[in-house]
Structure 1
Amino acid sequence: MITIENTALVLLAAGRSARYGDVGSKLDEEFLGKPLGVHVAVTLEDMPFLARAAVVDRCRIDYAAHGFEMIRNYEAAEGIASSVRRGVEFARRHDAAAVMFALADMPRVTVSHVYRMFDVANNPSHVVASSDGTQTKPPGIFGRDRFDFLMSLRGDQGARDLVRGGRHVVTSPAELIDVDTPEELEELRALVRPRARQAALTPVRE
């Protein structure tokens, strides 16, 4: 049985931001008054995961302040697989029944979506991915029986085939936006700006 309480959460925050430009880390860029890469950590920090870790490289965000063990990935240039392997090692260290991977550059993931994912994660062989109705995306849950496969990944090799054959939980495309370029960050700011302005203009009822 997979539950939030026996699952390790691993936040992947060690990307090289190659498509974003020479900024150090895109995760440090401002979004809604905070670093882009901190939003998902804040969203998920109160969920009762067994343990939580952030695999980091160059960003300056203090994920420990949000309850995450910070794992430095000195091989981040190798590709995302090196961060995935560190996440699986972390999950195994805590004897987790599953690992959930989330991306730090996806600031709009919600708690309700994550709970819906766990509703369909039932046994150690299950793989549960998010979907915008067209394609699968993170976050994703991998049961313990899939750990050996994840440890075999190298370079930028992902688990696409494994994910395609898994269970998919559909949510709004706007929730699964990830930011790879400055233009995408500007588009995201434009998307949320009207809502933020409306919230500021709405009177507070006492």
Structure 2
Amino acid sequence: MSLTSPTVLILASGRGERFKASGGTAHKLQALLAGKPVLQHTLDAVRASGLPWHVEDAGHSGMGDSIAAAVRHTANAAGWLVLPGDLPLVQPATLQAMAQVLLDQRAVVAWPEFAGERGHPVAFGRDCLADLLSLQGEKGAAPVVRKWAGQGCGLPVPVQDEGVVTDIDTVQALEQAEALLAKAGALLAQRGADGR
């Protein structure tokens, strides 16, 4: 991707209370998934995508505040892909595909859909700058998506990446992600054995 590529905003400042309430002993982003912290998996995928990125890990009172702060830090970016840090299975190719939607100017706002379910990262073009900077509270960027989608500038992007909807909010979700990783590893091993 070029220097004019959108910047991935990795949101890592949430409190993770649901994870702790479900029996987690560490913060969900530090919980181990296949021997590596959840956040590290997310960062690895972002790095592999080749896109510019910014981690927002200062303590903010809500997701809206976190997004606004991250956008402030990257205000000169060509656009933004808002990616919660607890999506460790998102694929680099999906990040690239969402960035390409903005680069091709097919939409001002775009979101991935897996099996009909909305996921992350949500992509925002530069036209959304003022709206993103004004976000606050717990609602995140949903009001910005509604505004631009309501004006016909939003686009769902079908993807074959279950990682866009696999967020680690509970210990059970972590166990499911572990099972998905194991299944993917088994498929890769089988393809290797088959010579594919």
Q: Do the aligned residues in 2 keep the contact of 1:97 with 1:124 (CA within 8 Å)?
A: no
Q: Do the aligned residues in 1 keep the contact of 2:128 with 2:144 (CA within 8 Å)?
A: no
1: distance between equivalents of 2:107 and 2:116? 24
* Offset of residue 173 of structure 1: 5.7
Aligned-residue CA RMSD (Å):
2.6
Higher relative contact order (CA 8 A, sep 6+): 2
4+ runs deviating over 4 angstroms: 197-205
1:1-206 superposed matches below 5 A: 5-6=3-4, 7-21=6-20, 23-49=25-51, 51-56=52-57, 73-74=58-59, 76=60, 78-92=61-75, 95-121=76-102, 122-123=104-105, 126-164=108-146, 165=149, 166-172=154-160, 174-176=162-164, 177-196=166-185
TM-score (norm 1): 0.77
With over 3 angstroms needed to count, the CA separation of the structure-2 counterparts of 1:136 and 1:186, relative to structure 1, is same
With over 3 angstroms needed to count, the CA separation of the structure-2 counterparts of 1:198 and 1:118, relative to structure 1, is closer
* Offset of residue 162 of structure 1: 3.5
* Offset of residue 46 of structure 1: 3.9
2: distance between equivalents of 1:136 and 1:198? 25
Secondary structure at 2:177 match in 1:
helix
Aligned length: 182
With over 3 angstroms needed to count, the CA separation of the structure-2 counterparts of 1:142 and 1:185, relative to structure 1, is same
* Offset of residue 42 of structure 1: 0.7
1: distance between equivalents of 2:92 and 2:138? 28
2: distance between equivalents of 1:30 and 1:146? 35
2: distance between equivalents of 1:174 and 1:116? 15
Q: Percent identity?
A: 25
* Offset of residue 89 of structure 1: 0.6
Gapped runs of 5+ residues in structure 2? none
